[in-house]
Structure 1
């Protein structure tokens, strides 16, 4: 079968590897000629193009599954809404009729609950940050498109894994963490996120959206204490400067993401059911 990826980055490249391992043909859209060569070297057929502009997807004829996992390249100078919303519109306008499943990677950033309450797929969305607003606008665009019955929105919690452990070097170096210690982190290991994508692809009657999380929210202080313990570093200090560009948005939201519906609909068993299993597999003493 033939697969197409928009956004072959941290998650997309791992899904591509999983498809390749199953003998699937994988295509990926990229703006960069250098990145195109890298993808080709991995067995992925590159399509060079900018999703914020007109795209030539003639090579994608016959594609049955599309993964849209686009992130913002801040060095591109583009606005996040142009990439997330207009980029999605350009992709949808040029999809071949052969597509039977469109998987859109969104974010739990569409929620803005502040009191630590549990959030599920039916909870109200009132995003406060630009990224969350762009994701929600893209979701609304997808729901209004003719492909909606063949699509599924996966709202991912914070994804972590090999090469992606935020603030690990700060913890090892003993630097203070510029975030509140008592806010909840909602996480999903990259391997489990890939499993969720592959399972969503196989659904015969997909729900409109699913939350993808390990379902084990952890207080930020506990997470970084464990990271420090595994790294044999000092217990981290937390600072919460109200003028910090990172503290403000993190202090303004506090929620716990439920994965009940994900487990029911996708039927997957998480390889890393909480941050403890995930961190212990990733971190070696410094």
Structure 2
């Protein structure tokens, strides 16, 4: 069967590998000739195009399933809204009549809770940060175009939205590993909550959604054990046999937070909330391979 990936990066390539192993034909959209060659070498059919340029999307093939996993490229000239909202709108106008199902990767940043509250799929989405606001605006396109739940129009695809916690896995920890090994002080509150999910568990969730199941419109994809930043970095340090982490405080923390950006894991992990994955486990039936960082970090480090 034909599968299409729009946004074939860290998550998308692993899904592509699994689909190819299962005997499916896989195509992937890319704006890069170099990526197109890499995709071809992996057995993936490249489709040259750019989501912010709708005229280039007409060559997208009909597909049983579309995985939409576009991330934000800070080196590109487009704004976050142009990529996440306008780009998605361009893509949906083409693919909604060319596929049966769209699996869309969103973020737990759509939740705005900041006081350590537990959140799930029924919790209010009132993000205060721009990233969360834009992610929520993108999600709302699916409802507006009647691609979710009971509102799906005949002839349109049915979509499922996966709200991912902070992603970690092999090759995704290098910057923080070097920082911990060097004993550099860490900016941010040590008692703030992080919500994380291992690459392998994201992939198995996507593959689970790509089946003959009655799906809800949204799933919160996080592991079963939120951790504080202090727990996270202490565990990472222990596994690396590195010095115990130090957190910058007061004026030093303010200076450091202005001079450095949080890595992608921390940006997606949220702003001090705790994610409840009950629907993922009990309704979708995903059995997490790495239910907490205590199982997942060692694997990620070993394979980095």
CA distance in 2, matches of 1:96, 1:81: 21
Q: 5 Å matches for 1:227-246?
A: 227-240=236-249, 241-242=253-254, 244-245=257-258, 246=261
Contact kept? 2:193, 2:228, Cα under 8 Å: yes
Aligned counterpart in structure 2 of residue 255 of structure 1, from 273, 278, 285 = 273
Contact kept? 2:192, 2:228, Cα under 8 Å: yes
Matched residues, number = 284
Residue number in structure 2 paired with 1:268:
286
Contact kept? 1:70, 1:84, Cα under 8 Å: yes
Aligned counterpart in structure 2 of residue 215 of structure 1, from 198, 201, 224 = 224
Residue 164 of structure 2 corresponds to residue 152 of structure 1 = no
The Cα RMSD (Å) is 2.0
Q: TM-score, normalising length from structure 2?
A: 0.88
Contact kept? 1:55, 1:90, Cα under 8 Å: no
Q: Structure 2 unaligned runs (5+)?
A: 153-157
Residue number in structure 1 paired with 2:28:
28
SS in 2 for 1:167: helix
Deviation of the 1:58 alpha carbon: 5.0
Residue number in structure 2 paired with 1:177:
186
The one-character-per-residue Cα deviations of 1:196-223 (angstroms, maximum 9, x if unpaired) are 1111122532211110011210011011
CA distance in 2, matches of 1:104, 1:283: 28
Contact kept? 1:8, 1:28, Cα under 8 Å: yes
Q: Structure 1 unaligned runs (5+)?
A: none
Residue number in structure 2 paired with 1:111:
111
Deviation of the 1:57 alpha carbon: 4.5
CA distance in 2, matches of 1:120, 1:181: 24
Q: TM-score, normalising length from structure 1?
A: 0.93
Residue number in structure 2 paired with 1:129:
129
Deviation of the 1:56 alpha carbon: 4.1
Contact kept? 1:31, 1:48, Cα under 8 Å: yes
Contact kept? 2:215, 2:284, Cα under 8 Å: no
CA distance in 1, matches of 2:96, 2:206: 21
Residue number in structure 2 paired with 1:161:
169
